[in-house]
Amino acid sequence: MLSTVAERHLRPAVAPMRLLVREPEGLLQVNTASFRGSFASVFSEALRSAGLGSRVLISQLLRGGVEQGPHRPVQMCGRLTWLRPAVEQCLQGPGTTEEQAAIQQLWQETQRQMLEGEADLVVLDELGLALSYGLLDADEVLTTLRQRPARMDVILTGPSMSESIMAMADQVTELRRDRC
């Protein structure tokens, strides 16, 4: 049996250090291009993330032609949910009243999944165009982006983004075809 003095020397003088590990913070990334068709690089990143175990949501806001709609998602890799509006063709402008309603339905489902934290990575394809066509309310989009779970990564695509979205962005990538 050790004396109380000896026992005191065997015990650590201070409590063991605990590292405070914060939950990772998600990034808001913007990919812009002066042309449509820059989605391929973003899609490959989303597919890779899903393959590595992340939950991914892709919402192609203006891409139609597959009669999909928000309640008929395509599932890939068991972790990637791909949404498109229930419209007959890709939108090149504000569209008809029915097309506008389809975009709103898609946005409401996307917004719900974002705010409920159902994904680790969310891709909002052609968000810039949807906003410039007046299909989505800019303040509502900004509020959703601000209220998303802190760990959620979001990638926004489109030929142009509003100043307020650009100010929120952690990373901005401009894709160019012309080289100097």
- The token duo for 85 is 């509006």
The pLDDT score that the predictor gives to residue 120 is: 97
Assign residue 119 the CATH number of its domain: 3.40.50.300
pLDDT bin (cut points 50, 70, 90) of residue 180 is low
The pLDDT score that the predictor gives to residue 160 is: 82
Residue span of the structural domain in which 59 resides: 23-164
- Asked whether residue 169 is assigned to any structural domain, the reply reads no
Q: Residues 177, 147: contact at Cβ < 8 Å?
A: no
- Asked whether residue 103 is assigned to any structural domain, the reply reads yes
**Rounded to an integer, what distance in angstroms lies between the CA atom of residue 104 and that of residue 118?**
19
The sign of the torsion formed by the CA atoms of 145, 107, 52, 23 equals positive
Tell which wins on pLDDT, 75 or 109.
109
- Asked whether residue 12 is assigned to any structural domain, the reply reads no
Neighbours of 133 (CB within 10 A): 18
pLDDT digits (tens, 9 = 90+) for 35-92: 766 777 888 899 999 999 999 999 999 887 666 777 777 777 789 999 989 888 777 8
The DSSP-derived string for 64-104 is -SS---TTS-EEETTTEEEE--S-SS--SSS--HHHHHHHH
**Rounded to an integer, what distance in angstroms lies between the CA atom of residue 48 and that of residue 54?**
9
Contacts of 13 (CB under 8 A, 6+ apart): none
**Rounded to an integer, what distance in angstroms lies between the CA atom of residue 91 and that of residue 102?**
11
pLDDT over 90 at 177, yes or no: no
**Rounded to an integer, what distance in angstroms lies between the CA atom of residue 46 and that of residue 50?**
6
pTM, 2 dp:
0.81
- Asked whether residue 11 is assigned to any structural domain, the reply reads no
Number of structural domains, the chain?
1
- Asked whether residue 116 is assigned to any structural domain, the reply reads yes
Share of the chain above pLDDT 90, in %: 52
pLDDT digits (tens, 9 = 90+) for 139-166: 999 999 999 999 999 999 988 889 999 9
pLDDT bin (cut points 50, 70, 90) of residue 6 is low
